[in-house]
Structure 1
Amino acid sequence: MVAGEVSGDLLSGLLLGGLKARWPDLTSMGIGGPHMERLGFQAWWSFQKLAVHGFNWELLRRYREIVGIRDQMRKRLLKERPDIFIGTDAPDFNFKLEEDLRAAGIKTVHFVCPSVWAWRPERMEKIRRSADHVLCIFPFEPELLARHGIAATYVGHPLANVIPMEPDRAAARLALGLDATAPLVAILPGSRRSEISHLAERFIRAAALIRAAQPTTRFVLPVVPGFRAVIESLVQQCGLQDSVTILDGQSHAALAACDVTLIASGTATLEAALYKRPMVIAYHQNWLSWQIMRRKRLQPWVGLPNILCAEFVVPELLQDAATPQALADATLAWLDAPSQDPQRLQALQTQFVALHHSLQRDTATIATDAIQKVLQS
C-alpha cells in the first residue's frame, strides 16, 4: 500500500481495517502513516515523504528524492511480488508505480478516483493503464470511468461512517477544555509544509482581525507533527497567545467543537461538511503553479463541498483574493449568521446532511469485496 498525505493515511487506515477483518493474517507494508501503523502496517517510508504542494519549485526541489523512493519501492515489490498493490490517492506517485507493477502481473487497485471531473481529464488514460480496479468515494465516478473502459466500484466515503450525523459540539469543547459558549473558529491551514508556508500566516492574521471585531471569539488550531514551533511563532507575532488553542493533530475534534472553520482547500473541507460546519475555503500557491492549475480547471469550484453540491454553498477565496481581511470578513459573516442570516445557515445544514447521507455506505465491506474479485480475476 502507498498512501500520500494525512488524508491518504486516514483513508488507507479505514480500508486496512476492513481488509484485516476479511483476512486476519494479512500482511501490509509500503508507505503510510500512524493510522495504518496502528493496524500493523509496516511503513518503509513515511507518507510525509510524498506530501508536495503545487507544480514546480517544491516538486522540482524534491523530485529526485521522490523518484528515488518510487524506484526503490518498485524494485522491492517486483522482487517480493505481493498479492495486490493498493495505491491511495497520490496519483502522480502511484500511477507510474501501478503501471509498472501491473505490467509485471501484479494486481493493482487505486483507492480514490482522481478528480478528473474537475481538472486534468488527460489522467483517464493513465488510470486505464495503471489500475485493474478503482475504488470510488463519490457516486457519480464509476459511470464516468466506465465510459473510458475502467472498472470501478462506488464504495462510499469512509469518513461518512466515522463522523456522526449530528456532531456533539458541547462534548467536543468539554473534551478539549474549551469555553462552552464563546464563538469558536477552527483554523486548518493544511498538513503539508508548502500549505503551511502559503496559508498559515494569512489565516492567523485573519484571526487577529476577527478577534479585533469580536473580542470574545476564540480559536482552535490543529497542527501536524513538525509544524508546532512555526505556528506558535506566528500566533505570538499576532498577539493571539490567549485566544488560540494549539492542538497536536485532533482536526476532527476541532471541527466538532467549532462554530465555523477557516480551512485550506482539500479533503479537510469535506470533513468539515460532514461535521455540518460553515466554512471559508482558501487556497494559495506560487504564481506559476496557480497559473497551471487555473488553466486545467473544468469547474468553477475548487472546494469539495461546492463541487459536490454544484454551487457556491460556502465562500472560496483563492490566490490573491485570500487576503487576511477578506478571510476575516467571510468568517465573521458566518459567525453573525445565526442572528443576521439564519436562513443561509439552515440551508447549508440541510445540504450538508443530504451530502452526508449520499456518501454513507458499508465502505470497508464493499471495498474488500471488490478487492477480493480483483484477486480472483
Structure 2
Amino acid sequence: MSSSDPRVALVAGEASGDLLAGMLLRALRERWPGLQSAGIGGPQMAAQGFDAWWPHDLLAIHGYSMELVRKLWGLLRLRRELGDRLLAERPEVFIGVDAPDFNLGLETRLKRAGIPTVHFVSPSIWAWRGSRIHKIRAACDHVLCLFPFEPEIYHRAGIAATYVGHPLADVIPMEVPRSSARAALGLPEDATVIALLPGSRRGEMNYIAPRLLAAAALLRQRRPELRFVLPVVPGLRPLLEPMLARHAPGVPIQVLDGQSHAALAACDLTLIASGTATLEAALFKRPMVITYNMHWASWQRMQRMAYQPWVGLPNILLRSFVVPELLQQSCTAEALAGEALSWLDSPSRRAGVEQRFTELHHQLRQGTAQRATDAIAQVLGR
C-alpha cells in the first residue's frame, strides 16, 4: 500500500447497496490500487477487497412499523459499536451507500468528529420525508445523486451534491441480449416468458410472492403456453418453496438462484415489486406491472408522507404512469393477471414503452463509477 492510498469506510445495506458499493470500490481501487476499505458490506464488496466487519443483510427491514420496532435496538447498538470503531481508526472518508435511516445518524456523528462523509444515493426526499434534508445537511459533506433532478434540490439547501448517473445504466447493455439469456436459462426462443420478481427481502417475499404466484396460476389457466421465471436471492429459496406448492401448483415456474438480470433480459414482461429492480427492468426495456404490499400500518404511514402520485422509479423518472402500479389493496392476483394480459395483447404499447425506456437509459448512462470517484477525490482533497 502506498502512503498516498486512502483508507475508506463504507456501510451498504441489502443486496442493492452491496451492488452499488461493489461498483464504486472497483473504480476507487483502479485509481488507488492499495486502497483499504472496511465497514458493513456484502459479497460484491468483498470481491473488491472489502473487509466486512458485519454483514450487509443485518440492515434489511421490510416496512416501517412492527418489524422496525423489533430490530431497532439491535440496529442502534450496531451503529454505536461501528461508530466507536470508526472514530478509533479514523478513515480518511466515510461513504454511506443508501440505507439512510442507518447511515445518516452515523454520518452525523463522524462529521462532527472531523471525518469527511459522503452519501452515495440521495434519499428520496423528493418523494417523501422531505424534512430529512436538514438531517442530510448535518450528516453529509457531499451527496452523490443517481438522478439528474436531484443536485439542484441539495444546492438550494446549501449541500454539495453531484449527479453521477446510475451505475446500473452503465452495466446493463443498451441492446438487450434476449437470445443469449434465453439460451443460458434453457428457455425456448419462441416462448412467451414472464419474470416474477417479488423482492429481495424476507418481508417482501412473505407479502408479495404469494400474490405473484397466484397471478401466474391465473395466467397459466388463460394462456397455457406461458412460461415463468422467478429469481430468488440466496437464502430465501426455502421460504419460497412452500409458497409455490400452495399458490401455483403445477405452474411451470423456473426458480433461479439470483440471476435477476438474466431473467429480465430473457422475459417478455415482468410482474415486479417496487424498488430498484423496477429501474433494472426499465433499463432492460421490459414492460412491467409494478406492485407492492406491506403491513397495513406501514402503508398508512407511507401514504401520509408521499408527495407524488407514483411509487415506481420508471414512472417517477418519466413523470407519468408509463407502467401500471398495483399497490396494497389493489395488489390482487386478478388485477395482476389482467394488467399482464393487457401488455401481452398490445404490441404497439410494448414498443412505445421500449422507446421511452431506451431514452431513459441514455440519460442515466453517465459513467457513474468514474464520476463518483472524481467527486470522492475532491472530498479527500486529492
Indicate the TM-score class for this superposition, using the shorter chain for normalisation.
over 0.9
Q: TM-score, normalised by structure 2?
A: 0.96
Q: Structure 1 residue aligned with 2:365, among 360, 365, 376?
A: 360
Q: Which amino acid aligns with 1:276?
A: K
2:261 aligned with 1:256: no
2:58 aligned with 1:49: yes
Paired with 2:167 and 2:226, the residues of 1 have a C-alpha distance of: 33
Query: Identity of aligned pairs, percent?
Result: 59
Equivalent position SS for 1:28? strand
Q: Which amino acid aligns with 1:327?
A: L
Q: Which amino acid aligns with 1:331?
A: A
Aligned residues between the structures: 373
> What are the residue-to-residue correspondences of 1:100-115 with 2, within 5 Å?
100-115=109-124
> What are the residue-to-residue correspondences of 1:86-235 with 2, within 5 Å?
86-235=95-244
The structural deviation recorded for 1:284 is 0.8
Q: Which amino acid aligns with 1:30?
A: G
Paired with 2:294 and 2:246, the residues of 1 have a C-alpha distance of: 23
Paired with 1:242 and 1:186, the residues of 2 have a C-alpha distance of: 13
Deviations along 1:96-148, whole A, 9 cap, x unmatched? 00000000000100000011111110110011010100000101111111000
Equivalent position SS for 1:10? helix
Paired with 2:297 and 2:92, the residues of 1 have a C-alpha distance of: 41
Deviations along 1:232-282, whole A, 9 cap, x unmatched? 221122344551111111111110010000000000000000000000000
Superposed CA RMSD in Å reads 1.0
2:352 aligned with 1:347: yes
Query: Which residue in the other structure is 1:376 paired with?
Result: 381
Q: Structure 2 residue aligned with 1:314, among 299, 308, 323?
A: 323
**Unaligned regions of 5+ residues in structure 1, if any?**
none
Q: Structure 2 residue aligned with 1:335, among 340, 344, 347?
A: 344
Q: Structure 2 residue aligned with 1:38, among 22, 35, 47?
A: 47
Structure 1 stretch displaced more, 102-111 or 362-371: 362-371
8 Å contact from structure 2 (residues 210, 247) kept in 1? no
**Unaligned regions of 5+ residues in structure 2, if any?**
1-9
Q: TM-score, normalised by structure 1?
A: 0.97
Closer, same or farther: CA 135–52 of 1 in aligned 2, 3 Å: same
8 Å contact from structure 2 (residues 231, 257) kept in 1? yes
2:255 aligned with 1:246: yes
2:13 aligned with 1:4: yes
Equivalent position SS for 2:63? coil
